[in-house]
A = this chain, B = another copy of it.
Amino acid sequence: MPEIEDVLSDLAAEMAARPDRGEVATYIPQLGKVDPRKFGIAVATVDGRIITAGDAEEPFSIQSVSKVFTLTLALGKVGDALWKRVGREPSGNSFNSIVQLEHERGIPRNPFINAGAIVVSDVLLAGHQPREAIGEILRFVQFLTDDDSVYIDQGVAASERETGFRNFALANYMRSFGNLHHPAELTLGVYFHHCAIAMSCRQLALAGRFLACGGRNPATGHSVISSERARRINALMLTCGHYDGSGDFAFHVGIPGKSGVGGGILGIIPGVASVAVWSPGLNANGNSHLGSVAMEKLARAMNWSIFSP
């Protein structure tokens, strides 16, 4: 088995040189300004090591990767009652499809498509002002990372609000079925802000490490969630974490992962490590192009696929 350090530095060099970089998301102006030449990667092992390469210290907008953390929080808050409002099946549709909602009467297919994550935000909002709920999410991510410098990019959040018409459509649509308990403006306030969390690869790998450790934080030894819940969140990441490219990611990479349109991907290798990779250009499914490529090469080099002996 090669050393992780060597694999990461080779990967970073190779990715920096590749001409095919995908397309940076432009649906909100702030994301479109990011330099497509960026590439960072970080691995946090279950035995406490952190290995990084490339632009691994530079914060980026984690966007939908944050849904892993809000799902974890919401399960802690309401437990399995969450599954009355959100399904656990891959969507078979693009990430912001509204068709499925009509056929299934306002119940999103899973917590990682936009509609499902909006319901999760709605759960976190219960009994709070939006500002409080946003604060709770941010503090939870800071706690997981053990780093208070994780922050919310207010410009990104404001920009999402101004242009997020489809999310307003999804939220109002679910509300028409009774599956949103707060006004769309409030719930989406929570949603837009947690999507605007900015983290570096190093921070993101640390934040996700509890999922590789059966729910425990190896730095402190404290349990964040039960091992059963960690296992189930990993399963959801594998089947639903990359929108309509989830099957392809499982096929090629073979590790549970969650992507964001900011170009970040968080991957979990149970019992081994968590990985965060960042490259802003996206592929046709809206997932980081070089991030996916790097994950596949890393999993192959380290034999990290959960589908291998």
Contacts and interface: CB of A to CB of B under 8 A. Distances in A.
A247 interface: yes
Contacts of A305: 231, 235
Contacts of A87: 247
A27 to B, nearest CB: 10
A112 to B, nearest CB: 11
B100 A92 contact: yes
A172 B139 CA distance: 32
A201 interface: no
Total copies of this chain within the assembly: 4
Contacts of A252: 232
Contacts of A234: 307
Given A99-B99, A102-B98, A306 B92 contact: no
Interface string A202-220: 0000000000111000000
A211 to B, nearest CB: 9
Most B CB atoms within 10 A — which of A93, A246, A307? A307
28 contacts: A87-B247, A88-B247, A89-B90, A89-B244, A89-B246, A89-B247, A90-B92, A90-B246, A90-B247, A92-B93, A98-B101, A99-B99, A99-B103, A110-B247, A166-B173, A166-B176, A169-B172, A227-B308, A227-B309, A231-B254, A231-B308, A232-B307, A236-B250, A238-B239, A270-B307, A270-B308, A271-B308, A271-B309
Interface of A: 46, 87-93, 97-103, 109-110, 165-166, 168-173, 175-176, 184, 212-214, 227, 230-232, 234-236, 238-240, 244-248, 250-252, 254, 256, 270-272, 305-309
